[in-house]
């Protein structure tokens, strides 16, 4: 296992309901990030379909979990020796899902369907039905969730307790949820929440957001890469920027951070005799 390696958070505003164009754009971004040494590349939520809530537009932009996006990423992952994670609109059994995949150079593809649908997503997507994934990769163990999922503290906690070293978060952050979009340091609530939860759960996070306003919603951007002490290593990106953040994560350091000192061990110090978090039948 490589302990330290660069990771990339690719922020862009997709073109709405233009999957071929967005797929090509994602490929360009993945190749560019890999060219800069990134071994893990995270793309935004619904990066391929674009983020829109029109059922017909989404249906036209949807594909199965083994469609051109995932198979294309599998080929790219093998060619470039990178782990790739990003969001697309999945069609399965007549339903649409706000899905994300994580593919490895070895050819595995893990599919995640967003558990917590945000706002109008409830009207077009079916809620996730595949639990929360943590994928063992050659880089380390990578968990996956999408955007609004992070508002539910059970999600990052569960992924961390399931063994995730890093959580990939394809996202499309929007305003209107917190009272103030940004604090004085330029952090939006979602980015600040990622930082604090990374610290409390001793995991790194790579959050890659949609940006700009061309899809009819003004996204907040604010992609960022956070270490397991909750420190922001790269970002937050500007709201309208199309850019790729790169920072180095060290898996050995992340694992070491689960013990903060001889008597401060935030994992062991949990009171599992008093509480337990049960996820898909297993209690942590």
Residue 123: both structure tokens together: 């009207």
Q: Is 50 exposed, middle or buried (0-12, 13-18, 19+ CB in 10 A)?
A: buried
Residue 119 in contact with its own copies, rule: CB under 8 A: yes
145 given a catalytic annotation: no
Instruction: Kindly name the residue from 89, 147, 207, 232 that is annotated as catalytic.
Output: 147
Pick from 70, 68, 84: nearest CA to 34: 84
Residue 213 in contact with its own copies, rule: CB under 8 A: no
36 given a catalytic annotation: no
Q: Candidates 59, 162, 200, 253: give the one binding its own copies (CB under 8 A).
A: 200
CA pair distance 144, 129, nearest whole angstrom? 14
114 given a catalytic annotation: yes
Residue 113 in contact with its own copies, rule: CB under 8 A: no
CA pair distance 261, 28, nearest whole angstrom? 43
Residue in the block written with tokens 């793309």 = 43
The string of DSSP codes covering 214-235 is TTSS-B----EEE-TTS-EEE-
Residue 271 in contact with its own copies, rule: CB under 8 A: yes
Cα distance between the two ends of the chain: 26
Write each residue from 1 to 40 as x if it is in contact with its own copies (CB under 8 A), else as -, in one continuous string: ----------------------------------------
Pick from 114, 174, 104: nearest CA to 145: 114
**Please, which residue, 94 or 274, has the CB nearer to its own copies?**
274
Among the residue ranges 63-71, 78-86, 100-108, 191-199, the one whose residues contact its own copies (CB under 8 A): 191-199
Positions touching its own copies (CB under 8 A) are 115-120, 122, 127-128, 131-132, 148, 151-155, 157-158, 176-180, 183-185, 189, 192-193, 195-197, 199-201, 229-231, 260-261, 263-264, 266, 269-271, 274-280, 283
Active site residues: 45, 114, 147
């Amino acid at each position: 296992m490589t302990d330290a390696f660069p990771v990339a958070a690719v922020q862009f505003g997709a073109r709405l309901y233009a999957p071929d164009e967005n797929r090509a754009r994602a490929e360009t971004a993945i190749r560019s990030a890999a060219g800069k040494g990134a071994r893990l590349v995270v793309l935004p939520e619904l990066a391929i379909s674009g983020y829109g809530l029109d059922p017909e537009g989404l249906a036209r932009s949807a594909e199965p979990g083994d469609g051109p996006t995932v198979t294309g990423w599998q080929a790219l992952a093998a060619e470039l020796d990178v782990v790739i994670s990003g969001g697309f609109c999945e069609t399965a059994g007549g339903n649409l899902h706000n899905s994300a995949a994580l593919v490895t150079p070895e050819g595995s593809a893990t599919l995640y369907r967003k558990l917590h649908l945000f706002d109008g997503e409830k009207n077009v997507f079916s809620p996730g039905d595949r639990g929360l994934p943590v994928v063992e990769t050659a880089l380390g163990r990578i968990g996956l969730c999408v955007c609004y999922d992070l508002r539910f503290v059970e999600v990052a906690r569960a992924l961390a307790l399931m063994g995730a070293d890093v959580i990939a978060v394809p996202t499309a952050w929007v305003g209107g949820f917190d009272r103030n979009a940004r604090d004085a340091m330029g952090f939006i609530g979602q980015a600040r929440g990622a930082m604090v939860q990374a610290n409390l759960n001793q995991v790194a996070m790579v959050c890659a957001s949609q940006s700009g306003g061309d899809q009819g919603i003004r996204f907040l951007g604010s992609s960022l890469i956070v270490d397991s002490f909750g420190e922001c290593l790269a970002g937050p990106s500007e709201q309208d920027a199309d850019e790729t953040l790169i920072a180095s994560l060290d898996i050995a350091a992340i694992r070491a951070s689960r013990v903060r000192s001889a008597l401060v061990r935030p994992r062991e110090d949990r009171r599992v005799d008093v509480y337990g978090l049960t996820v898909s039948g297993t209690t942590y």
